[in-house]
Structure 1
């Protein structure tokens, strides 16, 4: 390189700083762009101005591959046992200086730390990845698109991505399933195909567009590998119902209501007690079905009472009329039993 070209290299670097400062893109000047600087030198000989001379310098901007994946929100995703299509949400951002494709993989952990000071202890099922097709930030079944990669994501652009999974029915409160979403930069493959794997340029700078991996370390990946990962997790909140069935003798045909005994002809009251533990999820549509043995006869004149209460382990004579008796079975539904709440179903029968 001659002296003029060395001077031009210095000027070119200064010009590049000015160009990348406005507008301020995360990735900088677009990869593959050419930057040209021309210097003009004016001089005199014997006080006479001579024809100006100069030189130009042109180079190609190399490609800096960078990306981030971030959980949307700062809390775990609360789910119920047996819930389908439970959603965790992420944002994938292309902070490169080129349009790229991004391969997406949702992986489950095994007994490792989750995203929110908790520990994974079960796996979700039917794990799928969707892209936010309509851009509203919420998962819309039937609208958002099932994907394995993001296609042609422009420099400085972001996409919202949903990891959607089903929760096994048998899980209990505070069970945790942690998932990690990893995005990997790929060549822009056009509008219909995922691009090829990226290859970082080794050795000295070339005259063409070189590739440099500039990504940091995510939740489970290392620096400078064209990957970035982030965690989210599902935490189960289940109802914790305990059921007990009490019976009380009300009267008998010999003693009446005074110290009655459990003899044939005696009337007994059954009380089914449903309790939901504190800190649990509200149980809804609690359907009770109690087939009666042939040794007792349902007292249709008394009826069935729902949503009664319990005091010191004893059922109160309260609640509202409801439920039914058919084909030898007493049935009734409690619309809800909240955490820490107790409700009852009561009815009477006569010993045969």
Structure 2
């Protein structure tokens, strides 16, 4: 900072201080502003007023670099395996006393504790960053795909989305941790990221110095590095289906229903039981297809019964006749299967 002064003459009677105007905002007085402090001295000689004497001091405000990246909301983002464009929301606030650009990075965790207490267990794919258009709702068609924020004013706040795709084949409650890191940069040309900031070393200079004032580190940065970061996460909510196929002989042409044996002409009851794990999400539109071998013939008189139950490990004949058979393939659809539930597809065939 540069300081100038003028020697005060004669005997001081009264010092009056007038300060230059400052800009009022949370980040403080704007970097590069000059602050002028002028003192005025009135005095007399032999009882006669003399001309006032003044002395001024002018200094330049240095640049304080500070920023905050914050997760918006306090809950994980619930996702389904195979879903695309799943987003987490962050704000980037320029707490500096000067406009700045901000380089943006989307980071993924690897096996560590995530923002909402889970343990990172998978990696999202196609991770990218969008700048919100002002409506605070992610929309790929109207928001802007970015790698940096351009010319954020002092005290300016921008909302950005970290957007990812979720792989198939994940289990219920698996978690992926993501983070957004912003690094302050010089203001570059329009639509271009500015150069890296350089902190002033050594003593105070007459020009505008730069001080990294981000004294509190974020989740994925260090203190006083002109960067800040925050984390969010994705938690998988999915169905967890298992399937079991069983059969039993219900009658044969010799013994009837008393101790029937698996001989030609005997009737086989096939049961396909589909179960969803307790606590899992609902599974919908479950289609069961069972091609029959050429050693058996479908029994159309019994039909294909769906949504039946299992009791004591035995499939019950309590489903609705709603399935079909075509070309030797038996099909049935279970519309919805809640977590913890089991439903069946049941049909008969005759041994050739």
Same topology, TM > 0.5? yes
Partner of 1:206: 205
Q: Is 1:331 aligned to residue 331 of structure 2?
A: yes
Residue deviations 1:313-342, cap 9 Å, x none? 222212222222122211122122111111
Q: Distance in 2 between matches of 1:150 and 1:83?
A: 28
Whole-angstrom distance in 2 between the partners of 1:58 and 1:159? 35
SS of 1:102's equivalent in the other structure is: strand
What does residue 121 of structure 2 align with? 121
Residue 117 of structure 1 deviates from its aligned partner by 2.1
- The match for 2:151 is 152
Report the equivalent of 2:137: 138
Tell me the CA shift for residue 3 of structure 1.
5.9
Structure 2 Cα separation of the partners of residues 242 and 158 of structure 1? 48
Equivalent position of 2:174 in the other structure:
175
Q: Which residue of 2 aligns with 1:308?
A: 308
Indicate conservation of the 8 Å contact 1:79/1:235, yes or no. yes
Q: Is the 8 A contact 2:186 2:196 kept in 1?
A: yes
CA change 1:3–1:309 in 2 (3 A) is farther
Q: CA deviation at 1:193?
A: 0.7
1:350 alignment partner in structure 2: 350
The within-5 A match list for 1:66-85 is 66-85=66-85
TM-score normalized with structure 2 length: 0.90
State whether structure 2 residue 230 is matched by structure 1 residue 230. yes
Alignment RMSD, CA only? 2.2
Structure 2 match to 1:186: 185
Using the alignment, how far apart are the partners of 2:118 and 2:207 within structure 1?
A: 48
Could you tell me how far apart the structure 1 residues matched to 2:145 and 2:296 are? 58
Secondary structure (helix, strand or coil) at the match of 1:204 reads: coil
CA contact (8 A) 1:219 1:231 kept: yes
Q: Which residue of 2 aligns with 1:277?
A: 277
Structure 1 contact 152–190 (Cα < 8 Å) conserved: no
Q: Which segments of 5 or more consecutive residues in structure 1 lack a partner in the other structure?
A: none
| TM, length-normalised to structure 1 | 0.90
Contact 2:275/2:340 (CA < 8 Å) preserved in 1? Answer: yes
Do the aligned partners of 2:6 and 2:54 also contact (CA within 8 Å) in 1?
no
1:258, CA displacement in angstroms? 3.6
Aligned to 1:240: 240
Residue of structure 1 equivalent to 2:110 = 110
CA separation in 2, counterparts of 1:180 and 1:92?
A: 12
Q: Which moved more, 1:289-298 or 1:30-39?
A: 30-39
**Residue-pair matches, total:** 342
* TM alignment of 1:19-34, pairs within 5 A: 19=22, 23=24, 25-34=25-34
Q: Deviations over 1:110-156 (max 9, x none)?
A: 222221222222222111111112x2222112221111001111111
Which structure carries more helix by proportion? 1
